A and B are shown apart, each in its own frame.
Chain A
Amino acid sequence: MSQDTGTLRDWLLSETPTSRRQARWAAAYKGWLTLRANHMAMAGLAIIVLLVALALFAPWIAPHDPFVQDLGNRLQPLGSEGHILGTDSLGRDILSRLIWGARITLYIVALVALIAPIAGLLVGTVSGYAGGWVDVILMRITDIFLAFPRLVLALAFVAALGAGIENAVLAISLTAWPPYARMARAETLTIRSSDYISAIRLQGAGPLRIIVKHIWPLCISSLIVRVTLDMAGIILAAAGLGFLGLGAQPPSPEWGAMISEGRRFILDHWWVATMPGLAIFTVSLAFNLLGDGLRDVLDPKDSPQ
Chain B
Amino acid sequence: MTIMTRLMGSAALGLALGLTTLPAMAATPDNMLVIANRIDDITTLDPAQSFEFAGSDVLRNVYGKLVNFDPRNLEAGYQPDLAESWSVSEDGRTITFTMRDGVKFASGNPVRAEDVAFSLKRVVLLNKTPSFIITQFGFTPENIDETIKVEGNTVSITTDKRYATSFVLNCLTATIGGIVDEKTVMANEVDGDLGNTWLATNSAGSGPYTLTSWKPKESVTLTANPNFYGDKPAMQRVIVRHVQESATQRLMLERGDIDVARDLNPSDVEGVRAAEGVKILEEMRGRLMYIAMNQKHPQLSKPQVRQALKYLIDYEGMENSFLKGAYVAHQNFLPKTYLGAVNENPFSLNIDKAKALLAEAGVDGMELTVGVREAQERLEIGQSLQNTFAQAGIKLNLEVGTGKQVLGKYRARELDIYLGAWGPDYPDPHTNAGTFAFNPDNSDAANATGLLAWRNAWDTDGLTDKTLAAVVEGDTAKRADMYHQIQAEFRDKSPFAVMFQKVEQAGVADNVEGLSLGGAITAVSYWTVTK
Binding site for B on A (CB under 8 A): 67, 69, 71-72, 74-75, 89-91, 159, 162-163, 244-246, 249-251, 260-261, 263-269
Bound: A274/B383 CA distance, A? 22
Please tell me which one of the listed residues B267, B374, B379 contacts residue A265 in the complex, with CB atoms under 8 A apart. Answer: B267
Q: Tell me, rounded to whole Å, the shortest Cβ–Cβ distance linking B391 to chain A.
A: 11
Cβ contact within 8 Å between B400 and A261: no
Structural contact, B246 and A71, CB atoms closer than 8 A? no
Flag if A267 contacts B402 (CB, 8 Å).
no
Instruction: Give which listed residue, B268, B320, B384, contacts A69 with CB less than 8 A.
Output: B384
- Bound complex: CA A159 to CA B405 (Å): 8
Does the CB pair B398–A267 fall under 8 Å? no
Q: Which residues of A contact B374 (CB under 8 A)?
A: 163, 244-246
In whole Å, how far is B147's beta carbon from the nearest beta carbon of chain A? 45
Besides the known contacts A71-B321, A90-B387, A246-B374, 10 further A-B residue pairs in the complex with CB atoms under 8 A apart: A71-B320, A71-B322, A71-B384, A72-B317, A90-B384, A159-B405, A163-B400, A249-B399, A264-B265, A264-B267
**B21 adjacent to chain A (CB < 8 Å):** no
Enumerate B290-330 residues with CB–CB distance to A below 8 Å: 314, 317-318, 320-322
Does B510 reach chain A (CB closer than 8 Å)? no
Contacting residues of chain B (242-289) with chain A, CB-CB under 8 angstroms: 245-247, 250-251, 265, 267-268, 270-271
Whether the pair B402, A159 counts as a contact (CB closer than 8 A) is: yes
- Nearest Cβ on chain A to B275's Cβ, whole angstroms: 10
Complex contact B322–A263 (CB within 8 A): no
Q: Shortest 7 CB-CB distances between A and B: which pairs?
A: A245-B374, A71-B321, A71-B317, A265-B267, A69-B387, A266-B247, A264-B265
What is the minimal beta-carbon distance from B113 to any residue of chain A, in angstroms? Answer: 49
Cβ-closest chain B residue relative to A245: B374
Chain A residues in 8 Å Cβ range of B376: 260-261, 264
Question: Could you tell me which residues of chain B, from 378 to 406, have a CB within 8 Å of some CB in chain A?
Answer: 379-380, 382-384, 386-387, 398-402, 405
CA of A249 to CA of B400 in the docked complex: distance in angstroms? 7
30 inter-chain pairs at a CB distance below 8 angstroms, sorted by A residue, are A67-B387, A69-B387, A71-B314, A71-B318, A74-B321, A75-B267, A90-B321, A90-B322, A90-B384, A90-B387, A91-B321, A159-B401, A159-B402, A162-B399, A163-B374, A245-B400, A246-B374, A249-B398, A250-B379, A250-B383, A250-B386, A260-B376, A261-B376, A264-B247, A264-B267, A264-B376, A266-B247, A267-B247, A268-B268, A268-B270
Are A74 and B322 interface neighbours, CB within 8 A? yes
In the bound assembly, the distance between CA atoms of A71 and B318 in angstroms comes to 8
Chain B, residue nearest A273 (CB): B247
Q: How far is the CA of A162 from the CA of B414 in the complex (A)?
A: 15
Q: In the complex, how many angstroms separate the beta carbon of A252 from the nearest chain B beta carbon?
A: 10
C-alpha gap A251/B250 in the complex (Å): 28
The answer to whether A268 touches B271, judged by C-beta atoms less than 8 angstroms apart, is: yes
Question: How far does the Cβ of A286 sit from chain B's closest Cβ, in whole Å?
Answer: 27
B246 near A264: Cβ-Cβ < 8 Å: yes
> A69, A162, A163, A250: which contacts B382 (Cβ < 8 A)?
A250
Give the A-B contact count at a CB cut-off of 8 A: 76
Residue numbers in A under 8 Å from B321 (CB-CB): 71-72, 74, 89-91
Q: What is the distance, in angstroms, from A203's C-beta to the closest C-beta of chain B?
A: 55
Residues of B within 8 A of A75 (CB): 267
Question: A159 contacts which chain B residues (CB < 8 A)?
Answer: 401-402, 405
CA distance A115 to B284 in the complex (A): 52
A250, B400: Cβ atoms closer than 8 Å: yes
Q: A264: nearest residue on chain B (CB-CB)?
A: B265
The DSSP consensus for interface residues of chain B is helix
A269 touches B383 (CB 8 A): no
Residue of A nearest to B372 (CB): A250
B401: chain A residues within 8 A (beta carbon): 159, 162-163
**CA–CA, A162 and B246, complex, Å:** 27
In contact, A250 and B320 (Cβ under 8 angstroms): no
Give bound CA distance, A266 to B267, whole Å.
Answer: 9
State in angstroms the CA–CA spacing of A187 and B92 once bound together: 86
Residues of B within 8 Å of A266, CB to CB, are 247
Q: For B247, list chain A residues within 8 Å (CB).
A: 263-264, 266-267
List, in ascending order, chain B residues with CB within 8 A of A261's CB.
376, 379-380
Distance in angstroms from B399 CB to nearest chain A CB is: 8
Measured in the bound complex, the distance between the Cα atoms of B374 and A250 in whole Å is 11
- Residues of chain A lying within 8 A (CB to CB) of residue B382: 250
Q: Are A267 and B384 in contact (CB under 8 A)?
A: no
Residue of A162, A245, A267 touching B251 (CB-CB under 8 A): A267
Residues of A contacting B405 in the complex (Cβ-Cβ under 8 angstroms): 159
Residues of B within 8 A of A246 (CB): 374
CB-CB under 8 A from A249, the residues of chain B are: 398-400
State in angstroms the CA–CA spacing of A72 and B374 once bound together. 25
Report the Cα distance A245→B380, complex, angstroms.
13
Minimum CB–CB distance from B71 to chain A (whole Å) comes to: 30
A41 to B311, CA, bound (A): 56
The docked-state distance in angstroms from the alpha carbon of A267 to that of B314 is 27
- Cβ contact within 8 Å between A90 and B267: no
Q: In the complex, which residues of chain B have a beta carbon less than 8 angstroms from the beta carbon of A250?
A: 379, 382-383, 386, 398, 400
| Min CB–CB distance A269 → chain B (angstroms) | 7
Q: How far is the CB of A243 from chain B (nearest CB, A)?
A: 11
Nearest residue in B to A246 (C-beta to C-beta)?
Answer: B374
Distance to closest chain A CB from B386 (angstroms): 6
Which chain B residue lies CB-closest to A75? B267
- Find out whether the CB atom of B380 lies under 8 angstroms from the CB atom of A90: yes
Contact across chains for B267 and A263 when beta carbons are under 8 A apart:
no
Residue of A nearest to B377 (CB): A264
Which residues of chain A come closer than 8 Å to B250, judged between CB atoms? Answer: 267
In the assembled complex, the CB of B478 is this many whole angstroms from the nearest CB of chain A, namely 43
Complex contacts, B387 vs chain A, CB 8 Å: 67, 69, 90
Is there an interface contact between A69 and B267, defined as CB atoms closer than 8 Å?
no
B380 interface neighbour in A89, A244, A269, Cβ under 8 Å? A89
A268 with B267, Cβ < 8 A, contacts A90-B384, A263-B245 known = yes
Q: In the complex, what distance in Å separates the CA atom of A263 from the CA atom of B265?
A: 11
A159 to B406, CA, bound (A): 11
Task: With A250-B383, A251-B386 as known contacts, state yes or no: A89 contacts B322, CB within 8 Å.
Answer: yes
> What is the CA–CA distance of A156 and B399 in the complex, to the nearest angstrom?
17
CB distance from B405 to the nearest CB of A (A): 7
How far is B398's CA from A67's CA once the two chains are assembled, in angstroms?
A: 14
Give B359-379 interface residues, CB cut-off 8 Å to A. Answer: 374, 376, 379
Cβ of B314: which chain A residues have Cβ within 8 Å of it? 71
A245 to B379, CA, bound (A): 10
Complex CA–CA separation, A266 to B370 (angstroms): 29
Taken together as a complex, chains A and B put the C-alpha atoms of A157 and B127 apart, in Å, by 35
Smallest CB gap from B388: residue in A:
A69
Bound complex: CA A262 to CA B399 (Å): 20
CB nearest to B387 among chain A residues = A69
Q: Using Cβ atoms and an 8 Å threshold, which residues of chain B touch A251? A: 383, 386, 398
By a CB distance below 8 angstroms, the chain B residues around A244 are 374
Per the 8 Å Cβ criterion, residues 443-463 of B in contact with A are none
Q: Which residues of A contact B267 (CB under 8 A)?
A: 75, 264-265, 267-269
Within 8 A of A (CB), among B208-258: 245-247, 250-251
Q: How far is the CA of A52 from the CA of B405 in the complex (A)?
A: 36
A263 surroundings in chain B (CB, below 8 A): 245, 247
Task: Report A-chain residues with C-beta under 8 Å of the C-beta of B380.
Answer: 89-90, 261
C-alpha spacing A75/B270, complex, angstroms: 13
Whole-angstrom CA separation of A29 from B318 in the bound complex = 58
